[in-house]
Amino acid sequence: VVIGGDAGGMAAASQLRRLQPDAEIVVLEKGRWTSYSACGIPYLIGGQISALDHLVARTPEEFRAQRIDVRMQHEATAIDLDARTVEVHNLERGRTFALGFAQLHLATGATPRRPEVPGIDGPHVHAVQTLADAASLLADAEQNRPQRVCVIGVGYIGLELAESFLMRGAEVTVVDRAAHAMASLDADMGALVAQAMRRHGITMRLEESVMGIDHAAVTTNEREIPADLVILGTGVRPNTTMLGECGIPLGSTGGVVVDRRQQTSIPGVFAAGDCCESRHLVSGKPVNVALGTYANKQGRVAGINMGGGYATFPGVAGTAVTKLCATEIGRTGLNESEASAAGFEYVSAKIDATTWAGYLDGPPITVKMLAERRTGRVLGAQIVGGSGAAKRIDVVATALAARMTADDVAALDLGYAPPFSTVWDPVAVAARQLLGRLTEGGASR
Ligand SMILES: Cc1cc2nc3c(=O)[nH]c(=O)nc-3n(C[C@H](O)[C@H](O)[C@H](O)COP(=O)(O)OP(=O)(O)OC[C@H]3O[C@@H](n4cnc5c(N)ncnc54)[C@H](O)[C@@H]3O)c2cc1C
C-alpha cells in the first residue's frame, strides 16, 4: 500500500511494478490528481502554461493500465502496525474501511505552515502545495482579477508566485519578518535578491510581522497593506499528522526517520519525499528539505527495495535553483549560519563577475563560496545573477558530493567560450579567491 499519489509515492509504485510484475499495489490519494508537477504551479498562475492538466505527468488511468490500483479521493486516516492495516476514508462515498498491507510506503508530502493570525482562513488567502491548491488559486485569480496581491514570506515559493502575479499585471507587496529575502541564503546574498525584487517593481516590507488579514488588507505591526489576494509563502512542515501515535518514529525535524534504503525502523515500512528526513551530505545532520528532486529519487530507491532489489539514497546537499524574472538564484551545501551550527570553522569569499564575456554585455553574477578553514574542503555556495547564473551551482553541488577542496574547484576544466562564460568561470574565480583567504590566514569564523 502506497499513501500519496505524487512524486514520492508514484516513483515507488512504478519501480515496484517493474521489479514485481505480479505484486498487488494499491495507491491511496486523497486528491484528484496523480504524478503532478507542483513545481510548475507558478508558471500556470503566471500564464506561461495554458491549462492545469499540462502539469500532470501521468494520470490515474495510465497507472491503472500498469495494474497499479490507484484509488483517488481515498484518504488514509490511521495505521495499525500490529494488524498491518491502514484505515481508509473514501471521500466520495463517505465510507471508512481497513486495508491490509505486507509493505507500506508513506509519501504524504508536506503541509504549508499557516501563521496563527486572524483571517488566515479567509477565501482569498492561498497556501500553495497541491494541484487542488493551484486550481483554487487560479479560479480566484481569473474570477476576481486581483489588482493588489500580498505575498507573506519570501522563500522560493513566495518569490516565484510574486513573479506570477507581476506577470498578471498585479501590484505585488511582499512581507517577511526576516531582515532579508530567502532564509536559505546569507544576509548579504539575500539582500541582492531583495534588490532585484525592488527593481522588478515589488514593494518589500521586511522586518514586519503580519498581525491579521481581512478581505481588503494585510495588517502588519507597521502598516496596513491593501490586498485583494494573499499568498502564504511561509514554508512547509512534513505531513505526518495521520501517523498519530502509530509507532513509526519521527525525527527532530518532524519528518519520518528512514535509513539509506528509505526504510523506517519498522520492517516493511518505507517513506520518501517531503514527509521524511534526509541526511545532509556536508553537515551529516538530519534535515527536511522539501524538494521534488529528492521525492522522485527517494521514491525510486524505496520502490526498488520494496521490490526485493537494492538501492540507497546518499543524502542531500540542499541544492536549489529559482528565479525572479531575469534574476536567477542558486544555493547548495551550507550557508554561514548552517556552517557555524554544524561546528565548522570556515572562511568565505564573494566575487562579482559576469556570466559571459563582458564585451558581449554579459549579465552580472555574484558567487559566494565557503570552505573549511583547516582542510580547504568546500562547504557550500550561493549564486545570484542574470541569465546563466543559477545552474552554475551544480558544479559546486558536484564538488560537495566529491568532497573537493577550493583548490580542486579552482582547477576544474570548465567550459569556456565568450557567449557562455568568462575565461575563468565565475565559480572558479570564487574558488580562487577562497584559496587566497585560506592561505593568507584572513577572516575566518
Ligand atoms: C509552488 C511550488 C513550487 C515548487 N518548485 C519546486 C522546484 O522548482 N524544484 C523542486 O525540486 N521542488 C519544487 N517544489 C517542491 C516539490 O513540489 C515537492 O517537494 C514534491 O512535490 C514532494 O513530493 P511528495 O510526493 O513528497 O509530496 P507531494 O507532492 O506533496 O504529494 C503528496 C501527496 O499525498 C497526498 N496525501 C497526503 N496525505 C494523504 C493521506 N493521508 N491519504 C491519501 N493521500 C494523501 C496529497 O494529496 C498529495 O497528492 C515546489 C513546490 C511548490 C508547492
Q: DSSP assignment of 251-303, as one string?
A: -TTSSBP--TTSB-SSTTEEE-GGGB-EEBTTT--EE----HHHHHHHHHHHH
Quote the CA–CA distance of 352 and 216 in Å, as a whole number.
42
DSSP reduced 3-state for 396:
helix
Q: Which pLDDT score is estimated for 441?
A: 60
Q: Which pLDDT score is estimated for 439?
A: 87
Compute the distance from residue 6 Cα to the ligand 1 centre, in Å. 6
Percent of residues, the chain, with pLDDT higher than 90: 97
Joined together, the cell numbers standing for residue 349 give 569569499
Joined together, the cell numbers standing for residue 310 give 537494492
Quote the CA–CA distance of 369 and 434 in Å, as a whole number.
7
Q: Do 306 and 315 meet the contact criterion of CB atoms below 8 Å apart?
A: no
Q: Which pLDDT score is estimated for 435?
A: 96
Average pLDDT over residues 330-352: 98
Quote the CA–CA distance of 432 and 434 in Å, as a whole number.
5
Model confidence over 52-79: pLDDT tens digits? 999 999 999 999 999 999 999 999 999 9
Q: Which residues pair with 287 in a beta bridge?
A: 278
**DSSP percent split of the chain into helix, strand, coil, nearest 5:** 30, 30, 40
Q: What is the mean pLDDT of the chain?
A: 96
Please tell me the number of Cα atoms within 13 Å of 141 on its side-chain side: 25
Q: Which pLDDT score is estimated for 185?
A: 98
Joined together, the cell numbers standing for residue 207 give 522586518
DSSP reduced 3-state for 367:
strand
Nearest C-alpha neighbor of 185 from the set 72, 336, 300, 6: 336
Nearest CA to ligand 1 atom 20: 292
Atom of ligand 1 nearest to the CA of 28: 43
Quote the CA–CA distance of 342 and 17 in Å, as a whole number.
40
Nearest CA to ligand 1 atom 8: 39
Nearest CA to ligand 1 atom 53: 129
pLDDT at 444 over 50: no
* Residue among 39, 150, 275, 276 flagged as catalytic: 39
For the chain, the residue count is 445
Compute the distance from residue 94 Cα to the ligand 1 centre, in Å. 25
Joined together, the cell numbers standing for residue 34 give 496523480
Compute the distance from residue 328 Cα to the ligand 1 centre, in Å. 23
Average pLDDT over residues 377-400: 98
Quote the CA–CA distance of 268 and 270 in Å, as a whole number.
6
Ligand 1 pocket test, candidate residues 15, 28, 30, most atoms within 8 A of CB: 30
Atom of ligand 1 nearest to the CA of 321: 8
Q: Which residues have CB under 8 Å from 189's CB, separation 6+?
A: 182, 331, 366, 368, 382, 384
Compute the distance from residue 302 Cα to the ligand 1 centre, in Å. 17
Compute the distance from residue 62 Cα to the ligand 1 centre, in Å. 20
> Is 39 one of the catalytic residues?
yes
Model confidence over 168-186: pLDDT tens digits? 999 999 999 999 899 999 9
For every residue of 58-90, DSSP letters joined together read: S-HHHHHTTTEEEEETEEEEEEETTTTEEEEEE
Compute the distance from residue 111 Cα to the ligand 1 centre, in Å. 9
Q: Which pLDDT score is estimated for 172?
A: 98
Nearest CA to ligand 1 atom 27: 109
Q: Enumerate residues lining ligand 1, CB below 6 A.
A: 3-9, 28-31, 38-39, 41-42, 75-76, 107-110, 128-130, 157, 239, 242, 273-274, 290-293, 295
pLDDT at 44 over 80: yes
Atom of ligand 1 nearest to the CA of 37: 17
* pLDDT interval class at 153 (50, 70, 90): very high
Atom of ligand 1 nearest to the CA of 128: 53
Please tell me the number of Cα atoms within 13 Å of 198 on its side-chain side: 10
Cα-Cα-Cα-Cα torsion 189, 192, 193, 197, nearest 10 degrees, comes to: 170
Nearest CA to ligand 1 atom 18: 292
Amino acid at 206: L
Nearest CA to ligand 1 atom 21: 292
Q: Which pLDDT score is estimated for 443?
A: 47
For every residue of 133-158, DSSP letters joined together read: HHHHHHHHHHHH--SEEEEE--SHHH
